[in-house]
Amino acid sequence: MKTFKLDEYAGDSESVSIIKSEITGAEPVHTHDFIEIVYIAEGGGTQFINDTMYDVQKGDVVFINYNQTHSFSGKGKMIYYNCLLCPEFMSSTLVDKENIFDVFALSVFDEFDSKAEGMRQMASFRGRDLIEGERHVENMFEEFSRKQVGYKSVIKGYMQVFFAKIIRKIQNSNQKDVAGYLHKITPDVLKYIDDNLSEKLTLAELAEKCFYNPYYFSRVFKQCYGKSLTAYICEKRMNKAMKLLKDTEYPVDTVCEMVGYNDRTQFYKVFKKYTGITPGEYRER
């Protein structure tokens, strides 16, 4: 059985590594000399941790301690982020020591197997928590990839928030959402929006995918994700536009079309409202 080692993925002075991967087949049984937090960004599949099976989809997080056996497979294409952490990273400087004992039943992580028997090593982010959680993971990945000054401290700050959210989810895993909204709009709708930002996205079209009438869909979406459908799509388009302006040399007019705006003037107006500057100024900065 293969044992993956953190020094294969992190530098000499790094106690954390953030990786984005995709799989269409299966990863055989293996172990790690590090702690692994897996966030499912797209698609779904099955994760096995010490022979316990977890079916996962977009927004799900699984937590694997070092030396536990782990294998997984994707149903179709599964895209995921791996947060690889040495035990020292998961210290009292990252999360409250009491939380580690109470929630994950860990001391210095060497008693995990005996204390955590029957403990569910999975949390699910839905609704606005999914949006916020994915933003944290994407930001950590970008910080680790770019390695700009202070990136380790920034990653630790994001991880502290992300880990706290995981703890909340595990603590509340048996509590039902009182409003009953969080599972009425599946993550597949968000994926459809992400994949079609260059196209015309209408309320009627998206509502039909959930078999709701448009008025009900609009109301439930806002309850579920904390913002209107229009605001959500606009935010995703602007984020994509900023990334394209920063990471590519596409002309602004091309970027405009790639994020679903046929009217250049409207794109400039929305972009400046969202960022405070014009697309050209953003690219220069």
Q: What is the pLDDT of residues 119-163, one digit of tens each?
A: 568 888 888 888 888 999 999 999 999 999 999 889 988 888 888
Rounded-to-10 torsion of CA 129, 133, 136, 142: -130
Min mean pLDDT across 108-122, 169-183, 248-262 is at: 108-122
Q: What is the mean pLDDT of residues 229-233?
A: 91
Query: What's the pLDDT at 186?
Result: 66
Where are the chain's structural domains? 2-171, 187-284
Query: What's the pLDDT at 92?
Result: 43
Query: What's the pLDDT at 175?
Result: 46
Highest-pLDDT range among 62-71, 222-231, 250-259: 250-259
Tokens 């049984």 identify what position?
A: 29
Q: Do the beta carbons of residue 39 and residue 81 sit within 8 Å? A: yes
Whole-angstrom distance, CA of residue 113 vs CA of residue 66: 10
99, pLDDT greater than 90: no
Q: Do the beta carbons of residue 228 and residue 188 sit within 8 Å? A: no
**Superfamily, domain 2-171:** Jelly Rolls (2.60.120.10)
β-strand pairing of 78-85 with 60-64 = unpaired
Options 1.20.1330.10, 3.30.70.580, 1.10.3720.10, 1.10.10.60; which CATH number does 187-284 get? 1.10.10.60
**Helix count and strand count (H, E) for the chain:** 11, 10
Q: Do the beta carbons of residue 218 and residue 229 sit within 8 Å? A: yes
Query: What's the pLDDT at 68?
Result: 87
Total-model pTM: 0.63
